[in-house]
């Protein structure tokens, strides 16, 4: 791999989320799409057409094993169901391929251990596909949290009504989608949506691991035992908290509130920004409550709307970060993302 040439990436699997990341590769610097793999060449070719890539684009449609062992491919983006991650990550690492892996990473700790051992042995880069982590809004959030005395508590919700994605046959979405199948994406809403709320909580507290975790009551599961709705609380020994809920039942919500010592930060689109370049959040400084003897209750404080400005969509910035990690898999930047 020439350090001055773009990282040549192949997409291992044609999941729906891969469409936006193929677009992201096209918008990013330092990385280029060279191949897409599916269980059949016909499906891969159809996927390329859906992404607006003509047959003369130079992007090849291949099979899984062919892509993994392709000497013209430096790295793989893997949007396969999480139940298939371990076997293909181990194969990819053994073939010397850097890996951008969709979340959740796997279903069991043994799989995570196997993947990590393979990546470490091969010395390749690995990055999880959490897009919002790459938007500069987070840098602004960190600055504001520091101004407000540091974070004390996080409350985050991420949900969408899965019935809206039904195939029109009248059957429940989770009966057919991989996110409802125990052997494919058996973590359900926890893995698909709770990943983001947990990531935000850990980022807020500097990736310091909590001292305790508690599941919230009221979880719902489908007939296969896969979670449709759930929640949890992360607890730190000094009293800091993160409360999270994640659901395929509730309407579309992606709200987050970070309570600090002297104020509060709020986002209504913490995962998928309404404007992919100009992401807003609100800061309430020094809120106070007064209850006079005669008259209405008065809530006062300074409320400001701030913005995190990006030159590219967060998924394109993620691709550029991945390209940097591929160029220096064990450098200083790599350790920043190995959390």
Catalogue the active-site residues: 103
Count of CB atoms within 10 A of residue 310's CB?
A: 19
Q: Which among 81, 55, 109, 269 has a CA at the least distance from the CA of 182? A: 81
Give the β-pairing of 60-62 and 31-37: parallel
Distance CA 267, CA 173 (A): 28
Determine if the peptide bond prior to 336 is cis (ω within 30°). no
Q: Which residues of 182-214 are buried (b: 16+ CB within 10 A; e: fewer)?
A: eebbbbbbbbbbbbbbbbbbbbbbeeeebeeee
Rg (CA), the chain: 21
CA angle 110, 113, 116 (to 5 degrees): 150
């Amino acid at each position: 791999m020439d350090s001055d040439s773009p990282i040549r990436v192949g997409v291992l699997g044609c999941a729906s989320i891969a469409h936006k990341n193929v677009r992201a590769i096209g918008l990013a610097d330092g990385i280029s799409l060279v191949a897409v793999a599916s269980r059949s060449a016909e499906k891969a070719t159809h996927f390329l057409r859906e992404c607006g890539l003509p047959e003369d684009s130079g992007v090849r449609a291949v099979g899984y094993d062919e892509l993994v062992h392709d000497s013209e491919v430096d790295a793989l983006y893997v949007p396969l169901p999480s139940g298939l991650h371990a076997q293909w990550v181990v194969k990819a690492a053994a073939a010397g391929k850097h890996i951008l892996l969709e979340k959740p990473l796997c279903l069991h700790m043994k799989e995570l251990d196997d993947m990590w051992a393979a990546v470490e042995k091969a010395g390749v880069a690995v990055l999880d596909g959490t897009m919002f982590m790459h938007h500069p809004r987070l840098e602004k959030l960190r600055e504001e949290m520091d101004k407000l005395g540091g974070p004390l508590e996080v409350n985050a919700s991420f949900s969408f009504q899965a019935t809206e994605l039904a195939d029109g046959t009248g059957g429940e979405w989770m009966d057919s989608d991989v996110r409802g199948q125990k052997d494919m994406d058996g973590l359900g809403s926890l893995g698909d949506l709770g990943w983001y709320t947990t990531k935000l909580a850990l980022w807020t507290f500097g990736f310091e691991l909590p001292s305790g975790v508690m599941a919230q009551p009221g979880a719902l599961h489908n007939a296969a035992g896969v979670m449709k709705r759930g929640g949890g609380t992360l607890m730190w020994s000094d009293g800091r908290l993160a409360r999270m809920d994640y659901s395929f039942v509730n309407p579309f919500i992606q709200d987050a509130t970070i309570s600090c010592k002297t104020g509060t930060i709020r986002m209504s689109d913490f995962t998928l920004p309404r404007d992919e370049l100009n992401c807003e959040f609100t800061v309430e400084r020094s809120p106070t409550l007064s209850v006079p003897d005669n008259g209405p209750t008065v809530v006062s404080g300074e409320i400001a709307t701030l913005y995190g400005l990006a030159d590219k969509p967060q998924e394109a910035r993620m691709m550029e970060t991945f390209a940097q990690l591929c160029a220096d898999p064990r450098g200083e930047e790599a350790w920043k993302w190995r959390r």
